[in-house]
Amino acid sequence: MRNQITLYDTTLRDGTQGEQVNFSAEDKLRIAKKLDDFGISYIEGGWPGSNPKDVRFFEMAREADFKKSRVTAFGSTRRPGTAPHEDDNIRALLKTEMETVTIFGKSWDLHATEILGVSLKENLTMIKETVAYLKEKGREVIYDAEHFFDGHQANPSYAMETLKAAQEGGADTVVLCDTNGGRMPRKIAEIVADVVARLGVPIGIHAHNDCGLALANSLAAVESGARMVQGTINGYGERCGNVDLISVIGNLQLKMGYSCIPEEKLKQLTELSRYVSEVANVPPLNQRPFVGKSAFAHKGGVHVSAIQKNPAAYEHMEPEAVGNRRRVLVSDLSGKSNIDYKAREMEIELGGNGYDSQKIVGEIKKLEDEGYQFDAAEGSLELLIKKVTGQFQEPFTLESFRVTTEKNRSGPSTCQATIKISVGAEDEITAAEGDGPVNALDNALRKALTKFFPQIVEMGLVDFKVRVIDGSGGTSAKVRVQIESRDSREIWSTIGVSENIIEASWQALVDSFHYKLSREPEGVE
């Protein structure tokens, strides 16, 4: 049987200390239920002594049905000169009625004397008494030794005394924290091994990523005997973040032979990462290991040619094992292999002699030199392949459009677009207003097209991005516009490039409608 590693998630507390990460109490409950379903052992819900939102979360958590996870309340040791039963923070922890509480205390003599302003002896008493009091109240107690590795470097004997104080108080687990994220993996491994040998309770690791080593340090700690890993989903957290539990799971369970979640849940790893990202309203990191959109993406022609013969040539594992998928990108670095792969994926027929592939590669290289980027706009790529191979017929043709913007002193600017298109032998002229020139153009085009193609009603805009390709041209610089659209079945991206932002937006907008209609050509009246 494989060694079991306990996962302790602190996304809802430590994760929210990261920039741009903020959860409502309801958001926290949604994520907690997702983590419970996934099989995370402990979910740290927050610090009830610090804010009303966390108090409300624990009120809701008491009524929720958690099947696999223990929701934990987080707080500090008692205040100096205050008995545990008189401390408001300790009372708040007990009031949550959670079976498990996590307490942090000072392991670094600097923090005890300079930050808290207490003697080293009083700091030890605070740790021991707080843990003992919570144990008397029937709680499972996890003790987080804050700044332990910095404290060990400054005063190793005292740092160990703080752990023994927690042990003597009855702590169920003692977690060693690299709070400043500045320790090296070899040192982490040495210290954890020493603590495991000298302490009689299970040891955990809590690593921050300030040197980019949170994952390496966590894995080193596990190999040295730590049996709990604390971290956050997607690595959210203070400064550079906490260790990413997504990568911890991927490495421990798929690479190192440990068990930390039910085996069948591994295929939900990508979904979990994206779910938390969505609730946090933080864009997913494409390059995130295991689960990122680019984790199994191949762009170079040599790479693509190889993975068609054997994916193991350029992939360390099967993407499906973690719920991800293989992607082949097309750019100016592409060869015929990329085009052949994408054509099969898009179910587009190419000529068997390779001429079509060569022609498509040449066109892509030319357009990317002008600023297009097809690896980020697969809707436009599909249309390009169809156009080059003569498999695309424009469902409508632009005759003309005009966009006007009016601004006066007293109010916001107003925009109006007038557009004339032809569908077959019939012309349609229409006008619409919008919040901006692109929005007005979009509204006018939709209005004109709906008469001929009613299916576009279900099509919506997901994202609109503008990037200056070369800033040296100032306000006349060439820009790249990327539009992301969706309907009830899929999401697709299209692109436009021009020195005129309206023209670039029009290109991307038209491609978006063309893509939709190429998938559903029926509907013309």
How is the chain split into domains, by residue range?
6-261, 297-388, 397-519
Let me know the angle formed at the C-alpha of 48 by 47 and 53, rounded to the nearest 5 degrees.
100
**What is the average per-residue pLDDT within 422-431?**
93
Residue 78 pLDDT greater than 70, yes or no: yes
Provide the pLDDT confidence category of residue 333 given band limits of 50, 70 and 90. low
pLDDT digits (tens, 9 = 90+) for 92-132: 999 999 999 999 999 999 999 999 999 999 999 999 999 99
State the helix-helix crossing angle for 120-136 and 156-169, rounded to 10 degrees: 20
Whether the CB-CB separation of 238 and 14 falls below 8 Å is answered with: yes
pLDDT band at 207 (very low <50, low <70, confident <90, very high): very high
* Average pLDDT estimate for 87-94: 96
Q: How confident is the model at residue 471 (pLDDT cuts 50, 70, 90)?
A: low
Selected residue with higher pLDDT from 284 and 239: 239
* Among candidate residues 344, 288, 345, 281, the one with its CA nearest the CA of residue 319: 288
pLDDT digits (tens, 9 = 90+) for 213-244: 999 999 999 999 999 999 999 999 999 999 99
End-to-end CA distance of the chain: 66
Its pTM stands at: 0.77
Please give the distance of CA 407 from its chain centroid, rounded to a whole number. Answer: 40
Q: For position 82, what pLDDT does the model report?
A: 95
* pLDDT over 90 (residue 47): yes
Phi and psi at residue 219, to the nearest 5°: -65, -40
Residue with more model confidence, 162 or 459: 162
With b meaning 16 or more CB within 10 Å and e meaning fewer, what string describes 247-272?
bbbbbbbbeeebebbeeebbebbbeb
- pLDDT at residue number 50: 85
Assign domain 397-519 to its CATH superfamily: Alpha-isopropylmalate synthase LeuA, regulatory domain (3.30.160.270)
Between CA 193 and CA 213 the distance in angstroms is 18
CATH class of 6-261: alpha beta
Q: Do the strands 491-498 and 460-468 form a parallel or antiparallel pair, or are they unpaired? A: unpaired
pLDDT tens readout for residues 353-389: 667 888 888 888 888 888 888 877 888 989 998 898 8
| DSSP, res 113 | I
Among 153-167, 279-293, 461-475, top mean pLDDT goes to 153-167
* Mean pLDDT, all residues of the chain: 92
- Range in 88-102, 328-342, 503-517 the model is least confident about: 328-342
Taking the C-alpha atoms of residue 22 and residue 12, their distance in angstroms, rounded to an integer, is 9
Whether 338 and 330 have beta carbons less than 8 Å apart is answered as: yes
Which pLDDT band holds residue 249 (cuts at 50, 70, 90)? Answer: very high
Q: How many CB atoms lie within 10 A of CB 70?
A: 17
pLDDT at position 524, please?
Answer: 43
Phi and psi at 360, nearest 5°, equal -65, -45
What element of type H or E holds 115?
A: none
Distance in angstroms (rounded) separating the CA atoms of residues 296 and 323: 11
- Write the CB contacts of 177 (distance below 8 Å, at least 6 apart in sequence): 104, 107, 144, 145, 146, 147, 148, 149, 206, 207
Beta partners for residue 208, in sequence order:
242
Q: Is the pLDDT of residue 332 over 70?
A: no
Mean pLDDT, range 288-294, rounded to an integer: 94
Question: Residue 310 pLDDT more than 80?
Answer: yes
pLDDT of res. 352:
66
Q: What are phi and psi of 363, to 5 degrees?
A: -65, -40
Is residue 335 predicted with pLDDT exceeding 80? no
Determine the Cα–Cα distance for residues 331 and 378; give it in Å rounded to an integer.
Answer: 11
Q: Is the pLDDT of residue 2 over 80?
A: no
Type of residue found at 346? M
pLDDT value of residue 1: 41
Q: Which two tokens stand for residue 217?
A: 């340090």
At residue 238, what are phi and psi to the nearest 5 degrees? -55, 140
Query: What pLDDT is attached to residue 408?
Result: 81
Q: How confident is the model at residue 525 (pLDDT cuts 50, 70, 90)?
A: very low
Alpha helices in 102-155 (DSSP H): 109-110, 120-136, 148-154
Tokens in use for 340?
């052949």
DSSP letter (8 states) at residue 28: H
**Three-state SS sequence of 49-94:** CCCHHHHHHHHHHHHCCCCCCEEEEEEECCCCCCCHHHCHHHHHHH
d(CA 478, CA 437): 18
The answer to whether the CB of 142 falls within 8 A of the CB of 72 is yes
Lowest mean pLDDT among 31-45, 177-191, 456-470, 506-520: 456-470
The pLDDT > 90 percentage for the chain reads 71
Question: What is the structure's pLDDT at 97?
Answer: 97
pLDDT at 319: 96
- Most confident range, picked from 208-222, 295-309, 340-354, 425-439: 208-222
The answer to whether residue 483 scores a pLDDT higher than 80 is yes
Sign of CA dihedral 78, 84, 85, 86: negative
Residue 206, classed as helix, strand or coil, is strand
Burial 25-54 (b: 16+ CB within 10 A, else e): bebbbebbbbbbebbbbbbbbbbbbeeebb
Q: pLDDT for 63-77, tens place per residue?
A: 999 999 999 999 999
| Dihedral over Cα of 230, 231, 233, 236: its sign | positive
Q: Dump the DSSP string for 422-452.
A: EETTEEEEEEEEESSHHHHHHHHHHHHHHTT
The residues pairing with 7 across neighbouring beta strands, listed in sequence order, are 229
Q: Could you give the CA distance from residue 81 to residue 23 in angstroms, rounded to a whole number?
A: 34
Q: What proportion of the chain, given as a percentage, has pLDDT over 70?
A: 96
Q: Which residues contact 138 (CB under 8 A, 6 or more apart)?
A: none
Q: In CATH, what class is 297-388?
A: mainly alpha
Q: How many angstroms separate the CA atoms of 371 and 141, rounded?
A: 58
Question: What pLDDT, on the 0 to 100 scale, is given for residue 322?
Answer: 97
State the pLDDT at residue 334. 63
